[in-house]
Amino acid sequence: MTRYLLAGGGTAGHVNPLLAVADRLRDNDPTAEVLVLGTAEGLEARLVPERGYRLLTVPKIVFPRRPNAAALRFPRAFSASVASIRSLIREHGIDVVVGFGGYVSAPAYVAAHREKKPIVVHEANAKPGIANRLGARYTKQVGVTFHQTRLHNAVFVGMPLRREIETLDRAATRAEAIRFFGLDPKKPVLLVTGGSQGALAINQTIWDAAASILGAGWQLLHIAGARWERLASELPGYVIVQYCDRMDLAIAAADLAVARGGSATVSEFSALGVPSVYVPLPMGNGEQALNAKDQVDAGGAILVPNAEFTPAWVDSTLVPLLEDRARVAEMAARAKSIGMLDGSDRMVELIGAALSAEAVAAS
């Protein structure tokens, strides 16, 4: 029986691909033991047990980015975390450690290296994080989601997708999706989403420009997120909800989408052929614009800076696009041409390669 330790968490961008790989490992070998390493504070604390996996937790340790008291405490805390994970690897007889980035991955990579266990890395973003840059130094099995990701030993595998996305037939599911959200089956749908917390700038622009979008003959499915309180519109054809537990149906309904440029969002939209307008988060290291680059370069998406995504931009650029159905259809085809649905299988193959290399080295 093979025992896997999958390390990652904090955000959906780390947890969802981790769970997709965990599911595929279990599908391929029901006798395998799949354990997840995370923190008690991250999203994994809820999602991992819900999916039926055992979660092993270690304290959250944040890499210091400036000299301060936390930076002085970091070396001792990091060493303690590594020691704790080494104990877990020995206690559970772990055969391979697979990291997906996030707070726990860095000490997990060091612990696995010191325990002489094979390591596999998956990087979700076009611009790799600190933890995965460290992990890539210890292994030749490094999977990346985007072609332009610069990471040592990187191999393009795409994004491991949630099962409901991986198996989604948009055309066959569209009628169900339209009924689920109470939409008009005769009109195209513009899906707007900013993630679970929402994107206030996107929400405000869509709210202010809704009449123009509806006037172009489209209807709106707007997933506004936790911080948006205006959930009722008097405009016919404008459906606005705070949360959506059925993003598979939202994607099935969509003829075009407006969203941030998170790696999972970009990967899901391109894999399923959803033409998109990406409004990257105007903070961080610019990774969201880089995440969208492949789809934009292929002609399957448009990129607009957050500050420029205004009602005036909607009138001058988005509305003419909505009125050009042939262009929207072409964008859909171009998006799908670069999409990947088998990221989970590719990652599992990479894990198998790491185990095989370890077996050869031991023989």
CATH of the domain at 121: 3.40.50.2000
Task: Check whether residue 125 and residue 198 sit in a common domain.
Answer: no
CA separation for the pair 74, 273 (Å, rounded):
44
Chain Cα centroid distance, residue 43: 13
Per-residue pLDDT at 71: 62
Coil, helix or strand at residue 226: coil
| pTM of the shown model | 0.91
Per-residue pLDDT at 196: 65
- What whole-number percentage of the chain has pLDDT above 90? 79
CA separation for the pair 151, 17 (Å, rounded):
18
Name the domain count of the chain. 2
Task: Check whether residue 82 and residue 177 sit in a common domain.
Answer: no
User: What is the chain's alpha carbon radius of gyration, rounded to the nearest angstrom?
Assistant: 21
Q: What are phi and psi of 178, to 5 degrees?
A: -60, -45
261: nearest Cα among 223, 241, 301, 289: 289
Q: Which residue in this structure is represented by tokens 């005769």?
A: 186
Per-residue pLDDT at 41: 85
Query: What digits encode the pLDDT tens for the residues 121-158?
Result: 999 999 998 999 999 999 999 999 999 899 999 999 99
| pLDDT band at 309; cut points 50, 70, 90 | very high
| pLDDT band at 359; cut points 50, 70, 90 | confident
Task: Check whether residue 177 and residue 85 sit in a common domain.
Answer: no
Per-residue pLDDT at 72: 65
Task: Check whether residue 320 and residue 272 sit in a common domain.
Answer: yes
Query: What digits encode the pLDDT tens for the residues 61-110?
Result: 776 666 666 666 777 888 999 999 999 999 999 999 999 998 899 999 99
Task: Check whether residue 323 and residue 247 sit in a common domain.
Answer: yes
Q: What is the mean pLDDT of the chain?
A: 93
CA separation for the pair 141, 272 (Å, rounded):
27
CA separation for the pair 188, 213 (Å, rounded):
11
Per-residue pLDDT at 69: 61
CA distances to 99, 111, 150, 159, 200 from 125, rounded to whole Å, are 14, 24, 10, 9, 23
Q: Give 152-204 as a DSSP string.
A: TTEEE--PPPPHHHHT--HHHHHHHHHHHHT--TTS-EEEEE--TT--HHHHH
Per-residue pLDDT at 227: 81
Q: Which residues have CB under 8 Å from 192's CB, separation 6+?
A: 202, 203, 206, 220, 221, 222, 223, 257, 258, 259
Task: Check whether residue 169 and residue 315 sit in a common domain.
Answer: yes
Query: What digits encode the pLDDT tens for the residues 209-263?
Result: 999 999 999 999 999 987 888 888 899 999 999 989 899 999 999 999 999 999 9
Coil, helix or strand at residue 306: helix
Read off the pLDDT of each residue in 174-195 and give the average, rounded to a whole number: 96
Task: Check whether residue 168 and residue 308 sit in a common domain.
Answer: yes
Task: Check whether residue 197 and residue 318 sit in a common domain.
Answer: yes
Task: Check whether residue 99 and residue 172 sit in a common domain.
Answer: no
Task: Check whether residue 352 and residue 328 sit in a common domain.
Answer: no
CA separation for the pair 67, 285 (Å, rounded):
20
pLDDT for residue 9 is more than 90: no
pLDDT for residue 32 is more than 80: yes
Task: Check whether residue 329 and residue 357 sit in a common domain.
Answer: no
Task: Check whether residue 224 and residue 99 sit in a common domain.
Answer: no
Q: Give 109-145 as a DSSP string.
A: HHHHHHTT--EEEEE-SSS--HHHHHHGGG-S-EEES
Query: What digits encode the pLDDT tens for the residues 249-258?
Result: 999 999 999 9
pLDDT for residue 286 is more than 90: no
Strand ranges across the sheet with 238-241: 238-241, 219-223, 189-193, 256-259, 276-278, 301-303
| pLDDT band at 361; cut points 50, 70, 90 | confident
Coil, helix or strand at residue 348: helix
Q: Report the range of poorest mean pLDDT among 88-92, 144-148, 343-347, 357-361.
A: 357-361
Helix ranges, the chain (H): 12-28, 44-50, 69-91, 105-114, 130-135, 163-166, 170-181, 200-215, 247-253, 263-271, 287-297, 311-313, 319-323, 325-337, 343-362
Per-residue pLDDT at 362: 73
Q: Which domain holds residue 54?
A: 3-161+342-362
